[in-house]
Structure 1
Amino acid sequence: MTRLASVRRLLPLLSLVPLLLLCGPGTARAEPLRIVVPFPPGGAADNFARLVGQKLTEVSGTQVVVDNRAGAGGVLGSDHVAKAAPDGNTLLIVTVGHAVNPYIFSKLPYNTAADFVPVGMVASVPSLVVTGPSVAAKTLKDLLALAKARPGTVEFGSSGIGSTSHVGAALIEALAGVDLLHVPYKGAAAALQDVMGGRTAMSVDIITSSVQLVRSGKLTALATTGPRRSPLLPEVPTVAEAGIPGYAFTAWYMLLAPAKTPPAVVEKLNAELRKVEALPDFRSRIEAVGGEVASLGTKETAAFLDAEFQKWAQVVKARNIKAD
């Protein structure tokens, strides 16, 4: 065999070297794993990304860097990852807004469905339907009756157009057949301040930030949005129990990679994530803030995301939600 022929035979094998270095057992990454958070520091997505990073380091020795790239409802950070090298070293943590944005923005700098590949689920967290102490409605049924009697006037505050708090309330409108008045704020804290002060009637806020306000009496919890009652507030009924059968809504958190990341790399990342999710300390820390660990394989994660795209396309159309 000639030297040229030998080299030609080796070329396909040489092309696999970077993949083997990344995925081979017992080998360290050539560079840190970067998890891009498309939101400011301090929120649930940021906290979960940092927890995943800490535990990945403990389990596999992987160095993890959390990179906050906030702006435009998660669009700026998502665009950065969509255009990143598909080598398994850059991931994106997203929540419900990822499945909502394609339908509320007239144009995005990336293709939401085609430019990312799901790596795995991290957690799901229910929200609370909350009102202020001065609001006359003390149950969800009372609030819905008030909304039906005064269509388009009962205000609900959210942390922004297309946010978890916005779409959670929009789903209530769609399933209960009521018309509320949306008041978007720049963040959940400002929205909750006006609910506590009686300037807006309600909000649908993630339980991690609202539970202490409920326990202190500054907010009243009418219902929890998850499929089951929360262990943090077991006396609070679900929205389905409180008057809207079939309602279930949780803020989910998922890791994505650039679309052309090799399948073997995606599967390796998913396996590492699921090892982390099996740790008792990881599970207890997620549950302590009202969440549930949502460990899924890559196919199950992709199927879940596809179902979310279909669900929110219908809700956005029904409520005519626009971000621009």
Structure 2
Amino acid sequence: MKKELVVKDNVLIEASYNLDLIEQRLILLAIIEARESGKGINAHDPLSIHAESYINQFGVHRNGAYQALKNASKDLFVRQFSYQEKRSKGLANVTSRWVSEIAYIEDAACVELIFAPAIIPLITRLEEHFTSYELEQVSKLNSGYAIRLYELIIAWRSTGKTQVISYDDLRKKLGVLDQEYKVKADFKKRVLDSSLKQINEHTDITVKHEQHKTGREITGFSFTFKQKPQLKNIKKPQQRDPNTIDLFSKMTDAQRHLLASKLSRLHEMSEYSVGNESFEDLAKRLAEKLLDEKFFNSVKPLFDQIDYKPY
């Protein structure tokens, strides 16, 4: 199997920015397109991300993928990221767009984008001071926060542990807006714990975190992690989780519609929306999709975010 490698300068890994799940996936696919095609990244030539590639890589539904990419291409143009850079006059606080140009081509079902000049030096083929990982490791993560946290953690792969990251700094680096999850308990439950659960379940590392306090107040977090044992290439019959089977098979219609209603409010479900439909209309379609066991299993990692407990 071809390993699609994502490489980012650690300056970019440490940057503060807010991207939703689909926008992050677009950025990752663009980086891979630049590397795999041999084009590299410059300020003139567009990189193409085809809907088919997006669908295959992340296992999303075809009907919603086209509209999701179309919407994301509009939103991504106005997104910014901030980072610090040493210059001759001192430390510069830099703010830049991600892309200088982006287009969605309806007939070809693809996005074409040109990265902004500031980001080009931060995404190259050079390995020094860079973090590399396979796209496969984050393809099953259903949260933009989880992808960002995974990137932040594996930047410390050589030591297996991070430095203490202040609470405020972690929020910024994960892209949590000031008005979101203001209560620390909510941040910990809905952002941090949920992301760690996904990382531990779906990626190549196992992570534990430690809270750091000043008095009684949580002021920061640190993370220790280790590589999961590499499985031998022996195909075994796939065993189904009996707990998942019970959740799926015993779900009543009322529970299914309640779950669909809760899911419809999440950013992660925007790729399944059609046009400017309401949350209620999206929930109706999600309720139908939840009749499919494969789809049910794909959204199961989101249950913690919506406090969904079927029994």
TM-score (norm 1): 0.25
Structure with bigger gyration radius: 1
Greater RCO (Cα-Cα under 8 Å, separation 6 or more): 1
